[in-house]
């Protein structure tokens, strides 16, 4: 089983939001992140910027006003 680290804005140790995410759900202008144990974090105003499935990480970024 592969879990992924979820970072805010940049891939660095001090920007880890969820160290072991099992599920990410993108819904318009928000991203829901769930852990293996069902804990959920909803991030309004964020979008997925980068996903690396080989290195098991996701980078989120603040949605810009131009994104509609």
**Residue range 1-47, pLDDT digits in tens:** 789 999 999 899 999 999 999 999 999 889 999 999 999 999 999 99
The pLDDT of residue 64 is 78
- Residue 54 to residue 2: CA distance in whole angstroms: 10
**Would you say residue 68 has pLDDT above 80?**
no
Can you give the residue range of the structural domain that contains 29? 4-67
- What's the average model confidence in pLDDT over 63-67? 72
Q: Identify the CA nearest to 11 among candidates 55, 47, 46, 42.
A: 55
In this prediction, residue 65 carries a pLDDT of: 67
Secondary structure (3-state) at 43: strand
pLDDT at 2: 87
How many structural domains comprise the chain? 1
């Amino acid at each position: 089983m592969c879990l992924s680290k979820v970072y805010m804005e940049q891939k660095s140790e001090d920007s880890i939001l969820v160290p072991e995410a099992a599920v990410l759900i993108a819904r318009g202008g928000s991203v829901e992140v769930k852990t293996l144990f069902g804990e959920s974090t909803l991030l309004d105003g964020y979008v997925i910027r980068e996903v690396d499935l080989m290195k098991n990480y996701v980078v989120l970024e603040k949605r810009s006003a131009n994104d509609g």
